[in-house]
Chains A and B, each alone.
Chain A
Amino acid sequence: MEMPAPSRDILHKRDRIIDRLRSVLADEHVISDAMETRVYECDALTAYACQPMCVVLPGSTDEVSAVLRICHEEGVPVVPRGSGTSLAGGALPTEDSVVLGVSRMNAVLETDYDNRFIRVETGRTNLSVTGAVEQDGFFYAPDPSSQLACAIAGNIAMNSGGAHCLKYGVTTNNILGVTCVLMDGTVTKIGGPYMDAAGYDWLGLICGSEGQLGIVTEATLRILPKPEGARPVLIGYDSAEVAGACVSDIIKAGVLPVAIEYMDRKVIEVVEDHAKAGYPDCEALLIVEVEGSPEEIEAQLGLIKEIARAHDPIEIRDAEDDEEAARIWLGRKSAFGAMGQINDYMCLDGTVPVSKLPHVLKRIGELSNEFGLDVGNVFHAGDGNMHPLILFDANKPGDLETCEALGAEILKLCVEVGGCLTGEHGVGIEKRDLMHVQFDTADIEAQMRVKDVFDPAWLLNPAKVFPLGASRSRRARAADAA
């Protein structure tokens, strides 16, 4: 992975920069010892790592602003970081950068049930946002599988989704306001505990901007009353096509399940070995979950099973109680971990139109044969967000390269059928160089013009999102101006 050459000027003045940062933060919150900065050298895309110049852990919006002002004056790149669970290398440092972690900022600032919002510092983990309100019957809807670890900061930057977003939407649909510090230290407050402010949709723009427009320090999030109950049903089919058709029919029928999850044979076999969830022996397995009162659940599941039966399933398995429901989810929830235990894998994240799922699954199978690497499929079928897992052996020379080449082919396929490169993990460095597959030069240019407005010196989160070639002239111009 090509990264821009570190600026020698910046590396030269390293000590001065660190001194200046220590003048605005307590000593222990400016980490410069190479042993300690090691923790920050990569995120969950561990194939790429780079030690930053130093790491700062500010404790307030004011401290973030002070740090950014210094970095702006010194022309130092800044890499924002939440919990470092990005799968796209979104938080990968460069050698001449300061990593700014918001993990110390994790307070709940306000909860308001009548107006249905919570205001938190963005270092707070996703799950602990729900944790702060669930005793009162509320929850925060976006639920990435990484929710125990990932921070609201990263969720906003990546516009993260989760298993339940078919019904509840992703981060951008559940956020009301943010405090965002611009690269020059300016603190901006956007939105608040009200809906649809007039003016430009700043929130929409910040969500998914991968830490390149500003550092988000506080967020006002929409919370929802918990449904009365939820229950899954498991449906097995002997072909991907039929399972795909079933998904389409369920959606068309007017039921809106909270989740429709899909697993293929490869994944079923692996999770059976590891989690022993007792899944049926089949080609494709669906887990469909609905919510409501017991009667409502019964009615919705009735309709879903009727549709499922019309497609001649191998098995339909009900959950009679919470324990059985948990068993149905057990395999799905342990899928990524189980796959990780048998192999190294690369997790893709393309989205395709739901109606194209059968075709895409078939093509992925063919590509897998062509490249000689196994691919497992486990994903959110209701919204077409696929997660093909390419299995490879990191110790085998050439395997990673083959895996990356296969990954690129699969993502191109997703775009070809009308989909996109990434549904929830973000572009980061991982898919940066594939942006041209989905976008024309003018489309990428338009996005970079937004970056020009927010961060004219191109210092925030360098080398992510845009192909280096596309941003080269801008970065050079900014460096000259400095």
Chain B
Amino acid sequence: MFSPRDEKDLSDLVAGATDALAVIGGGTRTVGAPVQGGVLTTSGLSGITLYDPGALTLVAQAGTPVSEIEAALDAENQMLAFEPMDHRTLLDTEGVPTIGGVVGANVSGPRRVQAGACRDFLLGVRCVDGSGTIVKNGGRVMKNVTGYDLARLMCGSRGTLGILSEVGFKVLPKPEATAVLLLTGLTIGEAVKAMASALTSPFEVTGAAHVPVGLDSAPVTMLRLEGFEDSVAYRANQLKARLAAFGPADIERRVEGPENTKAGWAWVRDVAAFAEKTAVWRVSVKASEVEAMLESGIWQTLACDAILDLGGGLVWIGADDAQLSDNANWDGSGSSDRLHGAENLHATLQECMRLTGGHATLVKGPEALRSKVPVFQPEPAPLATLAQGLRRQFDPKGILNPGLMGQ
């Protein structure tokens, strides 16, 4: 395992490398297609470089543990507003999530629906490209249109265009209070409508999720409000009235049960309900398509479970061994092989997204599956060509996570 100590070290290492590198942060995720190559971890590049609470700015080396950043922000009553998911629960992995890993995969959480994604809070990056050249882009200020936005290009490129060495964020004050409205017993269609109604209200809903099988096995729809205490109380009541047609909402206030409220959203954020699933997909889709996609689409012929976040704009699809076996004969192959069942589900999800518009990405699955299917939604030809062109420019040796995001 390569573990450079600083950016210069990283740059030398990549400049001298001739063989493929599998780049990881804390190694908490097994994203993308499996990469053959020497493992390079950025966890040695650690530490907060700059934290200016009065300017809402934090810059840290890529290998800094997310927990260290959150602790520093906590002390100033601030936060990473995009609420990055912790993948360890879902993927049953060990390791320490790093901030570079969060940026590399553009990892966000439920607050994304209102505040934005990781990429929306990213102010700048430093990285080392596939030739070992150090490149910086963006910076530490909140508004910056100087030159092309390579920082966003790097965000979500999973180390295939460059290895992040430092990242800068806009951070936000923590809300003083939180309230959650809980609606129970809604169908998928009703839940999407209720969430749309909430999100089109002026009450600034900062979380909108629907779990068809909640903790006590009934469907539960969760809507979160955050801000100053009086304001939250006011908006919670307004929203409850607005959603009366969907049944009486329970209002859970943070003042009454802070741990409960927080744990509930962490559970959604980390997709904890799918921890036991063998294969899990992340589907980005237009919310109003979700009912058709599931009820009159996939669920007609395939076995899987779904959790809705971002008002329905994000659907987590999960299947356990039994469901995968059930799906194996979907194509009339007579098979009961789980892997084949997962392939059927995968192909269906991606085809469905190709037709309706959207992306289905495999986030959890056995290596055999990940090496067999296109993990990421295949892009239209012109974009695939551009992606290839970018990789050739930024990784001429073809050594940065080769194959991870397709050819």
Known A-B contacts A202-B383, A205-B152, A354-B55; A443 and B143 likewise in contact (beta carbons under 8 Å): no
Task: Kindly state the separation between the CA atoms of A172 and B56 in the bound complex, as whole angstroms.
Answer: 19
Judge if A424 is at the interface, Cβ distance under 8 Å: yes
Task: Kindly state the separation between the CA atoms of A255 and B176 in the bound complex, as whole angstroms.
Answer: 10
Residues B285 and A194 in contact, CB atoms below 8 Å apart: yes
Task: Kindly state the separation between the CA atoms of A464 and B284 in the bound complex, as whole angstroms.
Answer: 36
What string of 1s and 0s marks CB contacts (under 8 Å) between A94-120 and chain B?
Answer: 000000000000000000111110000
Residues B54 and A251 in contact, CB atoms below 8 Å apart: yes
Task: Kindly state the separation between the CA atoms of A268 and B389 in the bound complex, as whole angstroms.
Answer: 52
Residues B148 and A252 in contact, CB atoms below 8 Å apart: no
Task: Kindly state the separation between the CA atoms of A338 and B151 in the bound complex, as whole angstroms.
Answer: 37
Residues A418 and B140 in contact, CB atoms below 8 Å apart: yes
Known A-B contacts A196-B108, A225-B200, A450-B153; A435 and B146 likewise in contact (beta carbons under 8 Å): yes
Segment with Cβ contacts to A, from B245-253, B254-262, B299-307, B372-380: B372-380
A contact residues around B332 at 8 Å (CB): none
A196 contact from B56, B117, B386, Cβ within 8 A: B117
Task: Kindly state the separation between the CA atoms of A290 and B137 in the bound complex, as whole angstroms.
Answer: 32
CB distance from B381 to the nearest CB of A (A): 9
Residues A172 and B152 in contact, CB atoms below 8 Å apart: yes
Judge if A426 is at the interface, Cβ distance under 8 Å: yes
Task: Kindly state the separation between the CA atoms of A251 and B52 in the bound complex, as whole angstroms.
Answer: 11
Segment with Cβ contacts to B, from A2-10, A181-189, A317-325: A181-189
B contact residues around A169 at 8 Å (CB): 116, 120
CB distance from B84 to the nearest CB of A (A): 13
Task: Kindly state the separation between the CA atoms of A137 and B199 in the bound complex, as whole angstroms.
Answer: 13
A contact residues around B212 at 8 Å (CB): none
B contact residues around A186 at 8 Å (CB): 382
Task: Kindly state the separation between the CA atoms of A190 and B156 in the bound complex, as whole angstroms.
Answer: 15
Task: Kindly state the separation between the CA atoms of A455 and B180 in the bound complex, as whole angstroms.
Answer: 49
Residues B202 and A228 in contact, CB atoms below 8 Å apart: yes
Task: Kindly state the separation between the CA atoms of A452 and B235 in the bound complex, as whole angstroms.
Answer: 51
Residues B382 and A447 in contact, CB atoms below 8 Å apart: no
Contact residues, A157-212 vs B (CB, 8 A): 158-159, 161, 165-166, 169-170, 172-173, 182, 186-190, 192-202, 204-205, 207-209
Judge if B272 is at the interface, Cβ distance under 8 Å: no
List the B residue with the shortest CB-CB distance to A354: B55
Task: Kindly state the separation between the CA atoms of A274 and B200 in the bound complex, as whole angstroms.
Answer: 40
Task: Kindly state the separation between the CA atoms of A187 and B139 in the bound complex, as whole angstroms.
Answer: 32
CB distance from B333 to the nearest CB of A (A): 28
Among B119, B202, B379, B389, residue most surrounded by chain A Cβ atoms (within 10 Å) = B202
Known A-B contacts A195-B310, A293-B234; A420 and B146 likewise in contact (beta carbons under 8 Å): yes
CB distance from A199 to the nearest CB of B (A): 6
Segment with Cβ contacts to A, from B15-23, B35-43, B65-73, B356-364: B356-364
B contact residues around A419 at 8 Å (CB): 139, 141
Q: Count B interface residues, CB 8 Å.
A: 85
Contact residues, A387-417 vs B (CB, 8 A): none
List the B residue with the shortest CB-CB distance to A300: B228
Q: Count A interface residues, CB 8 Å.
A: 94
Judge if B80 is at the interface, Cβ distance under 8 Å: no
Residues A190 and B383 in contact, CB atoms below 8 Å apart: yes
CB distance from B365 to the nearest CB of A (A): 15
Residues B55 and A355 in contact, CB atoms below 8 Å apart: yes
What string of 1s and 0s marks CB contacts (under 8 Å) between A441-461 and chain B?
Answer: 011111101111110000000
CB distance from A305 to the nearest CB of B (A): 15
Judge if B3 is at the interface, Cβ distance under 8 Å: no
Residues A199 and B387 in contact, CB atoms below 8 Å apart: yes
What string of 1s and 0s marks CB contacts (under 8 Å) between B132-153 and chain A?
Answer: 0111110111111111111011
B contact residues around A112 at 8 Å (CB): 288
Known A-B contacts A113-B200, A115-B286, A115-B288; A195 and B314 likewise in contact (beta carbons under 8 Å): yes
What string of 1s and 0s marks CB contacts (under 8 Å) between A130-164 and chain B?
Answer: 00000001100000000000000000001101000
Residues B155 and A204 in contact, CB atoms below 8 Å apart: yes
Residues B55 and A384 in contact, CB atoms below 8 Å apart: yes
Known A-B contacts A115-B196, A196-B284, A353-B55; A159 and B149 likewise in contact (beta carbons under 8 Å): yes
Judge if B53 is at the interface, Cβ distance under 8 Å: yes
Judge if B270 is at the interface, Cβ distance under 8 Å: no
Residues B288 and A204 in contact, CB atoms below 8 Å apart: no
A contact residues around B405 at 8 Å (CB): 199-200
List the B residue with the shortest CB-CB distance to A417: B141
Judge if B219 is at the interface, Cβ distance under 8 Å: no
Residues B143 and A225 in contact, CB atoms below 8 Å apart: no
Residues B56 and A251 in contact, CB atoms below 8 Å apart: yes
Task: Kindly state the separation between the CA atoms of A208 and B139 in the bound complex, as whole angstroms.
Answer: 15
Residues B143 and A204 in contact, CB atoms below 8 Å apart: no
Residues A442 and B135 in contact, CB atoms below 8 Å apart: yes
Among A228, A254, A442, A445, residue most surrounded by chain B Cβ atoms (within 10 Å) = A254
CB distance from B370 to the nearest CB of A (A): 14
Task: Kindly state the separation between the CA atoms of A116 and B235 in the bound complex, as whole angstroms.
Answer: 20
B143 contact from A170, A207, A252, Cβ within 8 A: A170
Residues B141 and A198 in contact, CB atoms below 8 Å apart: no
Residues B149 and A208 in contact, CB atoms below 8 Å apart: yes
Residues B173 and A253 in contact, CB atoms below 8 Å apart: yes
Task: Kindly state the separation between the CA atoms of A93 and B392 in the bound complex, as whole angstroms.
Answer: 32
List the A residue with the shortest CB-CB distance to B377: A198
CB distance from A162 to the nearest CB of B (A): 10
CB distance from A206 to the nearest CB of B (A): 9
CB distance from A478 to the nearest CB of B (A): 15
CB distance from B235 to the nearest CB of A (A): 8
Judge if B323 is at the interface, Cβ distance under 8 Å: no
Residues B173 and A453 in contact, CB atoms below 8 Å apart: no
What string of 1s and 0s marks CB contacts (under 8 Å) between B186-219 and chain A?
Answer: 0000000100100111100000000000000000
B contact residues around A197 at 8 Å (CB): 284, 358-359, 377
Task: Kindly state the separation between the CA atoms of A438 and B392 in the bound complex, as whole angstroms.
Answer: 26
Residues A353 and B143 in contact, CB atoms below 8 Å apart: no
Task: Kindly state the separation between the CA atoms of A452 and B386 in the bound complex, as whole angstroms.
Answer: 10
Known A-B contacts A197-B377, A201-B153, A418-B139; A439 and B147 likewise in contact (beta carbons under 8 Å): yes
Judge if B273 is at the interface, Cβ distance under 8 Å: no
Residues A225 and B201 in contact, CB atoms below 8 Å apart: yes
Residues A225 and B202 in contact, CB atoms below 8 Å apart: yes
Taking A254-B77, A353-B57, A383-B143 as known contacts, 9 extra A-B pairs with beta carbons closer than 8 A to each other, sorted by chain A number, are A116-B199, A166-B142, A189-B380, A192-B357, A195-B313, A197-B284, A199-B376, A208-B149, A446-B133
* The 3 A-B residue pairs with the shortest CB-CB distance in the complex, in nearest-first order: A204-B152, A254-B173, A423-B143
Residue numbers of A with Cβ under 8 A of B are 112-116, 137-138, 158-159, 161, 165-166, 169-170, 172-173, 182, 186-190, 192-202, 204-205, 207-209, 213, 225-228, 248-249, 251-256, 292-293, 295-296, 299-300, 351-355, 380, 383-385, 418-427, 431, 435, 438-440, 442-447, 449-454, 465
5 contacts between A and B (CB under 8 A): A207-B149, A209-B149, A353-B140, A427-B146, A446-B137
